Structure 1
Amino acid sequence: MQLAPVYPVIYRLLNPLFPNCLWHGPTDEGAIALTFDDGPDPQYTPKLLAVLEQYQIQASFFWLGVCVQRNPELAKEVFLRGHWIGLHGYTHQSFPRLNTNELKNSLRITRELIADAIQIEPKKIRDVRPPNGLFTPAILRQLQEWDYRVVMWTVVPEDWLCPGISLVCQRTMAQVKGGSLIVLHDGYYGGRDVTATTANLIPQLLDKGYQFVSVNDFWQRKLTART
């Protein structure tokens, strides 16, 4: 069952309820963030990097610890190309299914694996996207207590179901607007089409006048807007 038409409704309902999460950037500007979950993957990520390099696009990647553990050199390559890095848990387990210690350890291990691979301090890796977009208010409070920043989404075209490149692009272009956080996947699910999808989407988005920024850029603008 495809839920792509429902995600915009979910976004509109949850966004005001959890304002401490990052759901979007400034809506009155033309900046958008292109994000990728579930990697890094040795089959799909290198080809995706080539497309991003071709258009000089900075993206944001939310990694699974198990994938970083298997592909540390690829993780380093992504970081060295200037992309922003966040956490997606050690494996793709929904956070509500984990107890407090399991969740804390999943994020800690993933953070340490990423930090070791890309050679930065672990505390600098703060952004977390919950697998499947699932969390509870209690989990959100825990993540904030542990000094993580929760990153959600605006546009979710369900590319992991591989419904076809044209349909994923059509869904994205129909929903995108200034400040959008677009979610695609370069892992086992969705990765098959991610390079062609991204190569198709970027020119369309550029033609519409959008500028690509990182998730961190959206955070900085959010903090500035509060002051």
Structure 2
Amino acid sequence: MQLAFSFPLIYRILQPSFPDCLWSGDLNSKAIALTFDDGPHPQYTPQVLQVLDRYNITASFFWLGACVNRSPDVAKAVSDRGHWIGLHGYDHRSFPLLTPKELKESLETTQAAIYNACNLNPAQVLDVRPPNGLFTPKTLKFFRQWNYRPVMWSVVPEDWVRPGVTTVVRRVLQQVQNGSLIVLHDGVCGGQDVAATIEVLIPQLLKQGYQFVTVDNLWRHNNKEKSPIDHL
């Protein structure tokens, strides 16, 4: 059963209750973030990179450690292009089901895989998006304790159930607004259509005046730092 209609409501309920999470960016700015979960994938991620290259867009990728270990060359290709890298756990197990030790190991093992593939220092890879969007206050407490930054979303078109490119594009265009944090998937579930989806979606968003930035840029906006945004 598709639940895409409910995600905007869930966002409105959860966002004020968990302000330490990054849900979106500056509502006064046309800057939005395009993010991809569940990769890197040996076929789908390179297809995504081709589209992003064509439009000179920098995106953010939340990786599974197991997938990085399986496709280190793909991971390096993403990193070498300057895309922002975050963590999605090692094997997509929901964080609330893990013990604190298992959760810490899941994140640290994923950081190690990224370091081995991309030579990115673990201190540079601190953004975490929980698999399935599931977390508890205790999860967030551990993130703070371990100096990770929790990242969620504001636009979720449920592309992982493959409702079709047209449907995913329509859902994004209906929900997008200033500061939106859009989540798509370049992994096993949903990755088959993701390149075709952004090939249609990106030109339409550009036509509407949106500018693509990374998750880190959204954090900087929200923290009111004075550093300029690299991709505006």
Deviations 1:140-172 (A, max 9, x none): 010111000000000000000000000000000
Q: Counterpart of 2:230?
A: none
Matched, 1:80 2:80: yes
Q: Counterpart of 2:69?
A: 69
Q: Counterpart of 1:163?
A: 163
Q: Secondary structure at the match of 1:16?
A: helix
Q: Distance in 2 between matches of 1:202 and 1:74?
A: 22
1:194 maps to amino acid:
V
- Percent identity for Structure 1 against Structure 2: 58
Q: Counterpart of 2:203?
A: 203
For residue 225 of structure 1, report the CA deviation from its aligned partner: 6.4
Structure 1 unaligned regions, length at least 5: none
Deviations 1:53-97 (A, max 9, x none): 000000000000000001111101100011000000000111011
Deviations 1:103-143 (A, max 9, x none): 01000000111012111211111000000100000110101
Matched, 1:190 2:190: yes
Q: Secondary structure at the match of 1:105?
A: helix
Q: Distance in 2 between matches of 1:155 and 1:83?
A: 20
- Structure 1 length normalisation: TM-score? 0.98
Tell me the number of residue pairs that the alignment of Structure 1 and Structure 2 aligns.
226
Runs of 4+ in 1 over 2 A off after TM superposition: none
What is the aligned-residue RMSD (CA, Å)? 1.0
Q: Counterpart of 1:137?
A: 137
Q: Distance in 2 between matches of 1:10 and 1:176?
A: 15
Q: Distance in 2 between matches of 1:125 and 1:96?
A: 21
Structure 2 unaligned regions, length at least 5: 227-232
Q: Secondary structure at the match of 2:163?
A: coil
2:35 maps to amino acid:
T
Q: Distance in 1 between matches of 2:181 and 2:224?
A: 18
2:3 maps to amino acid:
L
Deviations 1:177-214 (A, max 9, x none): 00000000000000000000010000000010000000
Q: Secondary structure at the match of 2:39?
A: coil
